[in-house]
């Protein structure tokens, strides 16, 4: 069980173990992120980041590191991984790094697969949380996001909702924090996704990092960023775009699934060891401004989509 007391989203650790961090805004010193492409950071390219991708987990770790000089971070996530693979390959490896905070995002690739059972997935998630919370680490989970507004992907909306409810029950049993992406309406705005409609853009990853920090009750500097309004489209244009998406992104995914191929072949974890972070765009000891694909510098009103942990 975690040392988290989160009935109202209050994240805290009992006892000591964090000396020298009187000015820290949170109790954590070692953060390990596990999961699939969502946590690897696909959709948020950055040549200065290990593996060439930044992502919400790196952005979250950067914020957590600002007030903890010896903060360490590892990211074991690998694109394409199913929940069973995350359990088999990443759970014990994460525990061996002695984290006091572990994030888990998994099950999305399973839900997309025809015939997958959200109840079976919940059992695997329960086993996974049993391992990574064994030594008292705080665990952060993410619900699946709402795909009801996407053609084709909307077919798994009901399965995702069931998995989310099962996840909440598992989280409660293990004392985990849940960041609610389903309720995050900002993630439906244009510019939040890449062209494949599955992975998040730099703007989406920035938004999710803020949601993660708010779920953990950590003050942060990630301000809501302006989203450019979508250009009006005719019905004919929208259907043409759907056909292009299906040919470019959906068809290759289906072919890979039928051939039992994975886009993760030959890919390994981008941060396999827990170590310090180099904050992007900042001098030593100075905070870095968040980077995003969408410039302009103006901000949306503070979002109300961040949900308290379940």
- Residues 304 and 310: their CA atoms lie apart, in Å, by 16
Is residue 133 scored above 50 in pLDDT? yes
225-245 pLDDT per residue, tens: 755 554 565 655 545 455 554
Confidence band for 261, pLDDT divided at 50, 70 and 90: low
At 119-129, the pLDDT tens digits run 999 999 999 99
**Mean pLDDT of all residues in 159-181:** 96
What is d(CA 178, CA 199) in angstroms, rounded to the nearest whole number? 20
| Check whether domain 30-230+267-275 has CATH 3.20.20.70, yes or no | no
Report for 27-36, 252-261, 271-280: range of highest mean pLDDT? 27-36
Bridge-partner residues for 104, per DSSP? 34, 141
Distances from the Cα of 203 to the Cαs of 31, 158, 277, 300, in angstroms?
22, 27, 21, 12
- Give the residue from 261, 270, 263 showing the smallest Cα distance to 80: 263
pLDDT of residue 289: 39
Structural domain spans, the chain? 30-230+267-275
Q: Which is nearest to 125 in space by CA: 138, 144, 141, 114?
A: 141
Contacts of 46 (CB under 8 A, 6+ apart): 52, 53, 54, 280, 291
Mean pLDDT (the chain, rounded): 78
Is the Cα torsion angle 116, 117, 120, 125 positive or negative in sign? positive
Q: How many helices (H) and strands (E) does the chain have?
A: 10, 6
Instruction: State mean pLDDT over 70-78.
Output: 96
Residue 134: per-residue pLDDT = 96
The pLDDT assigned to 21 comes to 45
What residues contact 263, with CB distance under 8 A and at least 6 apart?
79, 80, 256
Residue that is written with structure tokens 């994460």 in the block: 94
The yes-or-no verdict on residue 160 having pLDDT over 70 is yes
């Amino acid at each position: 069980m975690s040392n988290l007391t989160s009935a109202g989203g209050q994240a805290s650790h009992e006892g000591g173990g964090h000396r020298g961090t009187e000015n820290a805004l949170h109790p954590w010193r070692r953060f390990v992120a596990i999961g699939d492409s969502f946590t690897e950071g696909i959709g948020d390219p950055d040549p200065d980041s290990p593996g060439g991708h930044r992502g919400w987990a790196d952005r979250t770790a950067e914020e957590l590191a600002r007030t903890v000089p010896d903060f360490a971070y590892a990211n074991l996530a690998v694109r394409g991984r199913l929940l069973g693979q995350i359990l088999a390959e990443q759970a014990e490896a994460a525990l061996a790094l002695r984290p006091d905070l572990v994030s888990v995002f998994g099950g999305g690739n399973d839900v997309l697969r025809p015939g997958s059972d959200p109840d079976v997935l919940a059992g695997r998630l329960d086993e996974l949380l049993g391992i990574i919370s064994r030594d008292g680490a705080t665990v952060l989970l993410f619900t699946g996001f709402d795909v009801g507004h996407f053609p084709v992907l909307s077919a798994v909306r009901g399965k995702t909702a069931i998995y989310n409810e099962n996840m909440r029950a598992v989280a409660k049993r293990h004392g985990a924090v849940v960041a609610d992406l389903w309720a995050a309406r900002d993630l439906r705005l244009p510019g939040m996704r890449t062209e494949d409609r599955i992975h998040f853009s730099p703007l989406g990853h920035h938004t999710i990092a803020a949601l993660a920090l708010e779920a953990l009750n950590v003050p942060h500097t990630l301000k809501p960023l302006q989203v450019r309004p979508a250009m009006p489209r005719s019905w004919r244009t929208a259907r043409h775009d759907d056909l292009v998406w299906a040919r470019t992104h959906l068809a290759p995914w289906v072919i890979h699934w039928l051939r039992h191929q994975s886009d993760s072949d030959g890919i390994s974890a981008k941060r396999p060891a827990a170590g310090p972070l180099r904050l992007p765009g900042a001098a030593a000891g100075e905070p870095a401004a968040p980077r995003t694909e969408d410039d302009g510098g103006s901000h949306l009103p503070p979002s109300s989509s961040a949900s308290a942990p379940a």
